[in-house]
Amino acid sequence: MKLSDYVIKKISDYTNYAFTGQGGSVVHLNDSLSKNKKMKIIPAQNEQGASLAADAFYRASGKLGVVVATSGPGILNTLQGMACSYYDSIPGLYLSGAPVTGSIKKNKKLRQLGFQEMQVVDIVKSMTKYAVRLKKAADIRYEIEKAVYYSLEGRPGPVLIDLPDDLQRQEINEKKLKSFKPSNKLIKINHSSIKKLNYLFSKSKRPIIILGNGVKISKTDKKFYKIIKKYKIPFATTWATTDLFEINDSLNVGSFGVYATRHGNFSIQNADLLIILGSRMNGTQIGTASKFATNAKKVLVDIDKSELKEENKVKVDCKINIDLSHFVKIFEKSLKKIKTEKKWYEIIKLWKKKYPTVQKKYFKEKQYANPYVFFDRLSKNLKKNDVIIPDASANLVWFYQAFQPKKNQKIFTALNHSPMGYSLAAAIGAAVSLNSKKEIIAIIGDGSVQMNIQEIENIKNYNLPIKMFIIDNQGYGMVKQTIDTWLNKNYVGCDKSSGLSIPDFIKVFNSYEIKSTEIKNNFEIEKKIKQVLNFKGPIMCNVKVSPNARIIPKLKPGFPLHDMLPNLSRSEIEEQMRIIKN
């Protein structure tokens, strides 16, 4: 059997799609893909699109995303999606072609020997869980099994196998290939830390459980929710898990962080115990570390030991290094009666009512579509089961601040890497992973569309049910807001007046033969959203937003989470923070 046929046969045990680029060193892999009846391919217009689609393929369906790209420029283009997967713990298998073995340099100091030769393994080392160049054909089964194992086990992430062209063409005897046997290294539970957790819980009057990406990855959301319900424990989600829990649940305190909600932030800042599950508490979640939830004892549970080292400077009182699927069972068994105060529930309810993010006055704006109104109405109109993929920047924040998810909706983006243009390519991976059976909603800023505009040719070509909403504020809104804060509005390269022009997207999409429409102001929002959602097939809707629209509320740099912009009066803030003193 030809080695490349074997590779594809093997990966068809894990998945049914590959996102591909072409080139001299992957013609054999692509040929084998085309001949394998279990596999389908989507050839991306740019390999970056392939990598983003593969990332989303897994997020939408739980099936392994596979990327094929030629040596040198091809595989280099895929680093964007690889980074998205690595930083968000998403599995993925990258197969790169390499020149024939004889054209791969041996002397480290030599820059390049073969055409398009590149030290791919070195380049991707810091963004993969495992990366290897195949040395001999007989190792192929071992390497594929090892790579896939590492991609999926523990904290998942992407892996890469670099396949020299001559080895791809080599004949192998399938029966004689050695296999990979993983060693079972279970993380040992530290019982004293579980005891400490229970002790802290027994003392707590105002606890909050924070459910991070680890909860999604380990698929433990329902199990944790059972505990939350049983013991009536208030909880907060991160952006990664907003779609797993009802926003109107009285125990859900709402989102917290630099770009979140006032009610969520007041809750976190007033808590006396935070149990943080599978969340790395990054800067956008905590603001200034020394001012983050200073009244709370903190328990951090994470599968990755490195996340427990307090590099983010948040002092943790109890660290538990364990897989959440294991922890949830221990937690359930060990939890005793808890002493949450009645007034803790009451005040959380009050904050949610008092500080809505989508304010009534936004609906009265006449000239443009207000982004909060738009996302409020979009969330009301989307159906259960829809898949929603926001992109990056201000429109991403507006989305998460205003959107109210419905049951069984899937919402994801590349949370930690957040490259502009993610959602257009990701939507393709999501659509094909679900056999186009669900509607895919891609949301993107006008500045980001151009980063992956080429992939809409595939959306048209495969007639994928993707509804694209461009939030058109004529430039890089979020960057402008940052410049407003630090550099007195000296905009550089972020709108037409500062040297960066934005094309007319209606014309652009028309030339790709994709239907398009526009929302010009608040009054058109409801009707146009309905029209777009009722349209069969791909469609783009350009939503006109004021170039001056800003993220509200937002944290001032250096301030604690409870002190967001626009400023509340000192007395109002103090009143909200008084609960901890009483």
Ligand X SMILES: Cc1ncc(C[n+]2csc(CCOP(=O)(O)OP(=O)(O)O)c2C)c(N)n1
**Which residues here bind ligand X, judged by CB under 6 A?**
392-395, 418-420, 445-448, 451, 471, 473, 476-479
- Among residues 103, 48, 56, 106, the alpha carbon closest in space to that of 73 is found at 48
Report the residue closest to ligand X, judged by CB: 445
69 - beta bridge partners? 96
Nearer residue to ligand X within complex by CB, 145 or 446: 446
Pick between residue 31 and residue 365 the one whose CB is nearest to ligand X.
365
Burial-class residue 66 by CB neighbours within 10 Å (0-12, 13-18, 19+).
buried
CB nearer ligand X, residue 7 or residue 79: 79
Q: Which is nearer to ligand X, 229 or 496 (CB)?
A: 496
Distance CA 299, CA 273 (A): 8
Contacts 24+ apart (CB under 8 A), 521-529: 521/365, 521/366, 521/367, 521/368, 521/369, 522/362, 522/363, 522/364, 522/365, 522/366, 522/368, 522/369, 522/370, 522/373, 524/369, 525/369, 525/373, 525/374, 525/377, 526/377, 526/381, 529/377, 529/378, 529/381
Nearer to ligand X, 56 or 253 (CB): 56
**Structure-token pair, residue 543:** 């939503």
Structure tokens at 204: 């707590």
Q: Please identify, using beta-carbon distances, which residue of 212 and 447 lies nearer to ligand X.
A: 447
Q: How far is CA 479 from the centre of its chain?
A: 20
User: Shortest distance, CB of residue 92 to ligand X, whole angstroms?
Assistant: 19
Distance separating alpha carbons of residues 280 and 275, to the nearest angstrom: 12
Cβ closer to ligand X: 344 or 398? 398
User: At closest approach, how far in Å is the CB of 541 from ligand X?
Assistant: 15
What lies within 8 Å, CB to CB, of 124 at 6+ separation is 79, 82, 94, 131, 160
- What is the residue whose two structure tokens read 């084998």? 32
Shortest Cβ 20–ligand X spacing (Å): 22
Nearest residue (CB) to ligand X, 20 versus 395:
395
Q: Report the side by side order of strands in the sheet with 235-237.
A: 235-237, 207-211, 273-277, 297-302, 318-321
Q: Name the minimum Å distance from CB 418 to ligand X.
A: 5
Q: Which is nearer to ligand X, 289 or 492 (CB)?
A: 492
Closest CB 283 distance from ligand X, rounded Å: 15
Q: Are strands 554-555 and 564-565 parallel, antiparallel or unpaired?
A: antiparallel
Instruction: Give the three-state DSSP class for 554.
Output: strand
